[in-house]
Structure 1
């Protein structure tokens, strides 16, 4: 059954990980898992201290070129009556100003104990969600 915006957002909010889908200027897709925090209709994620070869990440380059993104969470179960997914579509913006990043980083720290000793230090991405959608086998 299709989930309405309120239901889709509610399914989304409690999840620990999502998949971010971006596309470059030619439309070439790119999907990666992210940790995230929500504040009303804005979804935040940040480049953190997990090992990466660079902070010039493809997801950030794609957002700077094409800010339209989708973020997906889902639940799989061998019991297919428990299946669901929820998606947030919107416009993303990369933030580098430490003052502007303060609140999103605080939200991420509150959600993830892994950030207690070391906050995300890289850019923050803010996604202004324009559409919440989803599906569940049953409600």
Structure 2
């Protein structure tokens, strides 16, 4: 799969898996809803229940900003299997930047996910500048 095709897969995907590294180098993987604008992937911390307001993914990004996101398609017909990956550098936007970018990014997220129509994300916003798109497909 070409990098351009991998990027196209992200435009249609509804959920990704976000991989970060903690301060000991141990991987941490969580699902994330996101929006793609140009070569920037964005997600925001929303109202869904969390164990803590101090999210490990945010601490990991602050310590090690290199991240990876993966989207994929599974089918019982293995000729239809595919995955696409985005490798990049993440930034947890500081409050001043979050305020400036928030309206735009939250609007994009709300348009993509109807679940945000009544309760948009109000937590930290993360921008990921994608440096490399890659992927694979069975046929």
Please give the TM-score of this superposition, normalised by the length of structure 2: 0.95
Answering whether residue 57 of structure 2 is matched by residue 56 of structure 1, we say: no
User: Does the CA-based 8 Å contact 2:19-2:69 persist in structure 1?
Assistant: yes
- Pick which of 35-44 and 25-34 moved more: 25-34
Q: Whole-Å Cα distance in 1 between the matches of residues 10 and 57 of structure 2?
A: 21
Consecutive unaligned residues of structure 1, counting only runs of 5 or more, are: none
- Pick which of 6-15 and 95-104 moved more: 95-104
Q: Aligned to 2:45, which of 38, 44, 47? A: 47
User: Does the CA-based 8 Å contact 2:65-2:91 persist in structure 1?
Assistant: yes
Q: Whole-Å Cα distance in 2 between the matches of residues 128 and 61 of structure 1?
A: 18
Measured after TM superposition, the shift of residue 26 of structure 1 is 2.0
Aligned equivalent of 1:90: 88
User: Does the CA-based 8 Å contact 1:36-1:108 persist in structure 2?
Assistant: yes
- Secondary structure of 1:119's aligned partner: coil
Q: Whole-Å Cα distance in 1 between the matches of residues 60 and 102 of structure 2?
A: 20
Consecutive unaligned residues of structure 2, counting only runs of 5 or more, are: none
Measured after TM superposition, the shift of residue 100 of structure 1 is 2.3
- Secondary structure of 1:117's aligned partner: coil
Aligned equivalent of 1:133: 134
Alignment RMSD (CA, Å): 0.8
Answering whether residue 81 of structure 2 is matched by residue 80 of structure 1, we say: no
- Secondary structure of 1:73's aligned partner: strand
Q: Aligned to 1:6, which of 4, 20, 27? A: 4
- Secondary structure of 2:106's aligned partner: helix
Answering whether residue 67 of structure 2 is matched by residue 69 of structure 1, we say: yes
Q: Whole-Å Cα distance in 1 between the matches of residues 90 and 112 of structure 2?
A: 21
Aligned equivalent of 1:109: 110
- Secondary structure of 2:79's aligned partner: helix
Which of structure 1's runs of 4+ aligned residues deviate more than 2 A? Answer: none
Measured after TM superposition, the shift of residue 53 of structure 1 is 2.5
